[in-house]
Structure 1
Amino acid sequence: MKRHVVILVVIALVAALFSFTCAALAGEADIKVMLDGEILTFDQNPIMQNDRVLVPLRKIFEALNTTVSWEPETQTITAVKEGTTVKLTVGLTEAFVNNLQIKLDQPPLIVNDRTLVPLRFVAEALGADVVWDGTTSTVKINSKQEEVSSGEQNISEATKAIALNPADPKAYNNRGDAYLDLGQYEKAITDYSKAIELDPESAEAYLKRGLAYGKLGQYKKAITDYSRAIEMDPESAEAYLKRGLAYGKLGQYEKAITDFSRAIELDPKYAEAYLLSGLAYGSLGQYEKAITDNSKAIELDPEYAEAYYYRGLAYGSLGQYEKAITDFCKAIELDPKYAEAYYYRGLVYARLGQYDKAIVDYKKALDVNPSFSEAREALKKFGVSG
């Protein structure tokens, strides 16, 4: 009976292996939260509500070195840090920072007996910088303000330049760049839009605004801007690559491949274009072409961990498991914190009946990324807690 259970587990894992590539460009990932470069793990996964990420209150407040209290009768949360007091109430959009009332886009919620709070609001209220990366579904929090001081200085200098010459599109472009670097994408879009208003032929401003839209997950708007940039500068390999990436995020893989191919024509040494082209081919189930493109990316950049990883996925989909393992091993050698490489190598080991090695890899994936739900589920199927 136990043997039959193991076989069923392996079948389920192999099914996962053969379905990986379609999500790779489309970006259907769990929401991740990083604080000062380290991934946070929660007992209740973060959720997206009304375009706001909510996380369990105690974990985030403790991670930000904040004293937190909970009033069960009123369902009020109070957090105190270095003279700053933040108060929120479950279900209410009114919050307070040092007695100043703030209107929330999304109130705190209770999910699975856990109180979830809007992440951006609480982090920024406590003095941290927050960036949302829509391409990886990751919230990046920087609580060390000195690390963003140079970016703030760039904004200040660009703002002074704008005050001196409000008709200078370059000044708006420069401030947009500073906002883009800090992850303040809406502000970046506003400045790039002003630069375009002042100079409608600025391919750079369209390209950069497209980048900002892409970071926000607004891929159709990004494509429109990349297309305009290409009209003005048909030799821009970067514009073709970025538009191809946006098409891939929308699942339009044939269009993505066309753009990646054009980027390669313009820049034959564009390793990233080969990698993304291979990823698009993999998403279409054309694994041989995926292998060819990723091999070219590796030829151009022998230390390109992602290229080994994605080539390994393609080999796995073709049943060439030993080659897949070799590539996953190389990806891990180049990037020892490559959680996905550990996970998929574990899937291949499971397919080959090497269950002990599979379990070791799933555990390693969780060590690197404690929020890696697929690895945790894979361990559960083997009766191992993660």
Structure 2
Amino acid sequence: MKQNILSQNKMKAALFLLLTLAVMLWASPLQAMALSEEKEIHIYMDHKEVEFEVEPVIVNGTTFVQFRPLFEAMGMDIEWDPDTRTVTGTKERYTLKLQIDNQIASVNGKDYKLLVSPKIIKGSTMVPIRFVAESFGRSVYYKPGYGAAEIQINREMGTDIYEALYVAEGLQYTGESKDGKPHGKGTYTLKGELWYEGEFYKGDMEGKGKLYLTTALGEQVYEGEFENNLPNGTGIITQGNYRYEGDIRNGLRHGTGKVYYKDKLEYEGDMWENTLTGEGTIYQSDGTKYVGDVIMGAREGYARVYDQDGDLFYEGMYAGNHPAVSPLEQKWIAYYLYTEHNKTQKAEEAFEAFKEAAGDESLAYKIAGSAFLELDQTEQSIAYLNKGIALAPDDAELHALIALAYSRKGDDAKAEEHAKNAEKLGFEEMDELREAMEEIKNNP
């Protein structure tokens, strides 16, 4: 596989330029998840699609949907008051009220300010989907797509809490109270089993406490801070061999935290609504360490990867959990980084792997020499190019490259010798080579 000298140099320059550009392009991985004006939006409740007569729309960054299909999918009874233009959703002891063109919503008697008020669109009452779903402890995930997008509404810890507080039978309180409401220290039991123990404030679980939940995956325990009946602040979630320590927002792992499995640290870094998203460190099963951008648990974006000894061996872009360069380029990057950080033995091993992957030893020396030339490491460039010439003395590109390297070193005699060899061997870009050598000579 041969490339002309100019395209090869540009390719190598571009490879390392990407490392710089990636910092800017991927500085905020959440940008990839930002809402956009998609033509279609599909809504899923617990992975089952919800059908709407009027298509969901985005207004000032807020997604609106018809209230009736959404409320019914959440198991709520519905009441519409045409005089006040108010929609009410109820589920046992839970009540949600939304009024057209009013930014104040009511959840169980408490007022909350909406970013955008409910609206009548195409003759239908449209409500903000995120607020409605989150008001009952559900998570809302937006998945962008080409021409269409998905919004996944999922059951979470907050859903289990709200169902126990407002739907389930058999919840009993024991403890301190004020004005007829739980206040101070106390416990909740659910059907005779301890469900919550800790602090209360004006009827809500608030302060420090410990919550015991039974889920489809087994018992889940949360210990930490509470606000407005939900885990909020910092805390620890354990479920079987899984443990999370860190920030919690409305029952979701959100902020920064650490994830352990069988007491072994697997991840530390940013969390976004129960997903590993942002900047973080993934401790991989082979002992290597990925430090960089993470989106929805996937290694995606700009990263540095360290070997089992903590030495850097990859720096660049990741896509779909894999380096966004070829295996050959990965081996070259490992060699370069080990060399840069004076890891001599590892550098030698990496270069041997690079040569093997190249399938042509002289080609490996050519690529290495060209790359070091682009990196202004002239002596290393000359050393590798000379090795390549020793193996392939009739390779015109090798002679052209080393002519440039000697020009940069200031050895005009050797530069001219190899330039003539390149010309004699049929190098097709002699005019460009001579021009480059002259430019180096005039601008040392």
How would you bin the TM-score normalised by the shorter chain?
A: 0.3 to 0.5
Q: Highest Rg: 1 or 2?
A: 2
TM-score, normalized by length of structure 2?
0.36
Q: Which has the higher helix share?
A: 1
TM-score, normalized by length of structure 1?
0.41
Q: Which has the higher strand share?
A: 2
Structure number with greater CO (CA < 8 Å, separation at least 6) is: 1
